[in-house]
């Protein structure tokens, strides 16, 4: 429990539907898709059946679609058509064109969603970290989903973002092997799948794109300004965060503003969760996501 006296969520596989727990324990690889839109050849990974309600997953800086390698098939097992996308300048999408503002990236991802024929009834958006800032801006960019899920969207001043540019685990690596060694050494408790997913991100991103995103968007507010846009009115929105003491980028002091905007019952804290709780607390994170999607 944090200093705000709000309860934190924990879970085990026993708390999940059996099919979801099984998919989480033995995740299947996503089907690769290439979608041409907005001047990019978007690379994405897909799970689930095309007829199921769609969910787009959007990653953070220096990551890619593989960051959801375990979460995506688990949510798909609950009856969702899940599409995780590599953002411009990240993963295998590449071709970054200098569009670093949250609103610009949101507009580009909205175009991707339409071209992928996934902008349809029941659409949900989930963004982790930078991805949370992007999906919060997507209603104003013209894509109105059924619901939005923000997974630890940073509430950070520019100085904190500048610190990220010097973090050894946010810097480019010349090879996948070098990135794997660095990530594994820094995170001995991570699974092999999470080490490889993070390492792939570090070996594939465009440093110029990452610096522009981190240093030229000003202070980050967790997406609150975007959620205040009239275009976002009436969209069910959820915040899932870790705990600040464990590395969450959403401080306790920011919670009242989120609760005022989206409702106190739509704010979930993962007990002892870090900034990326899907890696270290997958059961509790999936349970929170399923609650938001219900």
Question: How many CB atoms neighbour CB 160 within 10 A?
Answer: 14
The string of pLDDT tens digits covering residues 20-53 is 999 999 999 999 999 999 899 999 999 999 999 9
> What is the band of 263 on the pLDDT scale with cuts at 50, 70, 90?
very high
For the domain made up of 13-293, give the CATH fold.
Rossmann fold (3.40.50)
For the chain, domain boundaries:
13-293
pLDDT value of residue 94: 78
State yes or no: pLDDT of 282 exceeds 70: yes
Portion of the chain with pLDDT greater than 90, in percent: 91
* CA pair distance 97, 89, nearest whole angstrom: 8
pLDDT value of residue 4: 44
Which residues neighbour 88 within 8 Å (Cβ) at sequence distance 6 or greater?
A: 40, 94, 95, 96, 97, 99, 105, 108, 209
Portion of the chain with pLDDT greater than 70, in percent: 98
pLDDT value of residue 65: 97
Round the average pLDDT of the chain to a whole number and report it. 94
**Token representation of residue 240:** 């899932």
Q: Which of 7-11, 175-179, 242-246 has the lowest mean pLDDT?
A: 7-11
């Amino acid at each position: 429990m944090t200093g705000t006296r709000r309860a934190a969520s924990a879970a085990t596989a026993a708390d999940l539907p059996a099919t979801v727990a099984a998919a989480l324990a033995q995740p299947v690889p996503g089907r690769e898709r290439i979608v041409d839109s907005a001047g990019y050849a978007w690379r994405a990974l897909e799970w689930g059946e095309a007829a199921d309600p769609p969910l787009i997953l959007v990653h953070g800086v220096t990551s890619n679609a593989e960051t959801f390698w375990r979460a995506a098939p688990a949510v798909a097992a609950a009856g969702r058509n899940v599409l995780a996308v590599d953002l411009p300048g990240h993963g295998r999408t590449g071709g970054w064109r200098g569009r670093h503002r949250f609103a610009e990236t949101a507009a580009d991802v909205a175009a991707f969603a339409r071209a992928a024929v996934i902008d349809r009834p029941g659409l949900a958006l989930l963004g982790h970290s930078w991805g949370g800032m992007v999906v919060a801006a997507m209603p104003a960019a013209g894509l109105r989903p059924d619901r939005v899920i923000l997974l630890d969207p940073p509430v950070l001043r520019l100085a904190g973002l500048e610190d990220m540019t010097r973090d050894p685990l946010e810097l480019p690596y010349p090879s996948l092997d070098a990135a794997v060694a660095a990530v594994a050494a820094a995170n001995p408790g991570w699974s092999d799948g999470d080490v490889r997913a993070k390492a792939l991100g570090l070996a594939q991103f465009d440093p110029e794109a990452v610096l522009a995103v981190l240093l030229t968007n000003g202070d980050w507010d967790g997406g609150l300004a975007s959620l205040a846009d009239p275009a976002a009115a009436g969209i069910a929105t959820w915040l899932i965060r870790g705990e600040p003491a464990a590395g969450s980028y959403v401080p306790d002091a920011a919670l009242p503003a989120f609760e005022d905007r989206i409702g106190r019952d739509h704010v979930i804290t993962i007990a002892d969760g870090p900034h990326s709780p899907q890696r270290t607390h997958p059961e509790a994170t999936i349970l929170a996501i399923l609650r938001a999607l219900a």
